[in-house]
Amino acid sequence: VKIVRTIGELDHPDVVTGFVPTMGALHEGHLSLIRAARAECERVVVSLFVNPTQFGPTEDFTRYPRDEAWDGELASDAGADVLFSPSVEEIYRGRSTWVEVEGVSEDWEGARRPGHFRGVATVVAKLFNIVAPTRAYFGLKDYQQCRVIARMVEDLNIPVSLSFLETIREPDGLALSSRNRYLCPQERALAPLLYEQLLSASAKIRVGIDVDEAIGEAASQLEASGFNVDYFALVDGFTLQKLHRSEQDARLIAAAKLGQTRLIDNISLGT
């Protein structure tokens, strides 16, 4: 894999280019995106950039795991041709212009992490301009992020086609996340309950149990087991608006803290 650190060094050959933006600490979730890009594109660019503008002042920007050499090997084995690994200074010469995606970014993660989606949308727009990919790949694990980026690409007429791929999970159901390594063994043992409760609420809703009741039970189970639930909700899969009865494309989304670690997950109601 060719490691590129500056915008000037990135070339733009006239071939179908697939792009996978990441913050590094690569795991099978990221690798599934890189492999999909490899299968569909002539050239695969992976970015490694821990984006400071999407972290809140009390979040884990400085202690976010960083290991470029190891990430380079994993990305290369999964089929990346270019690893774009810029410094913060390379990406942020100035910080006056922001991409704000109204509506879909406002509730849920947006409400709990002020400025987060503004940072995400801004850096993804910049990376799209820098890399100029034909296709870009994102994980459904970050469901609201997928909707924010889709909205931005449509609203700003960005010439890229987006792919959103299924969440990769541990054998016990826990969604892979770079932040799972923060969990102590006791927390790690509890962590799969978030996904279990999403499945359980989904099963209840599908057999006709009241949505708010099913969700209330799931949240209580999580709280009783030691989670601090931020939200657990049924939402419209496109607008992210809260639903009280099931409809087509509904999505169950949840965020909860185990100790200091915040976990998010979601499933489609069809799952």
Which residues in this chain contact ligand AMP in the complex, by CB under 6 A?
Answer: 22-23, 29-30, 32-33, 138-139, 141-142, 167-168, 175-178
Closest CB to ligand AMP: residue number: 139
Q: Minimal distance in Å, beta carbon 16 to ligand AMP?
A: 20
d(CA 82, CA 37): 12
Which residue, 32 or 197, is less far from ligand AMP as judged by CB?
A: 32
Q: Minimal distance in Å, beta carbon 252 to ligand AMP?
A: 16
Q: Minimal distance in Å, beta carbon 109 to ligand AMP?
A: 12
Q: Where are the alpha helices (DSSP H) in the chain?
A: 28-40, 68-78, 88-91, 109-112, 116-131, 143-155, 185-190, 193-206, 211-224
CA distances from 205 to 166, 216, 241, 248, 268 (A): 22, 12, 17, 13, 12
Which residue, 181 or 206, is less far from ligand AMP as judged by CB?
A: 181
Question: Which SS3 state, helix, strand or coil, does residue 117 take?
Answer: helix
Q: Which helix (H) or strand (E) holds 258?
A: strand 250-258
Which residue, 175 or 183, is less far from ligand AMP as judged by CB?
A: 175
- List the catalytic residue out of 12, 27, 30, 244: 30
Residue type, 38: R
Which residue, 21 or 187, is less far from ligand AMP as judged by CB?
A: 21
Q: Among this protein's residues, is 12 annotated catalytic? A: no
Q: Minimal distance in Å, beta carbon 212 to ligand AMP?
A: 28
Sort residue 61 into left (φ over 0), alpha (ψ -120 to 50) or beta.
alpha
Which pairing describes strands 161-165 and 135-139: parallel, antiparallel, or unpaired? parallel
Which residues are catalytically annotated?
30
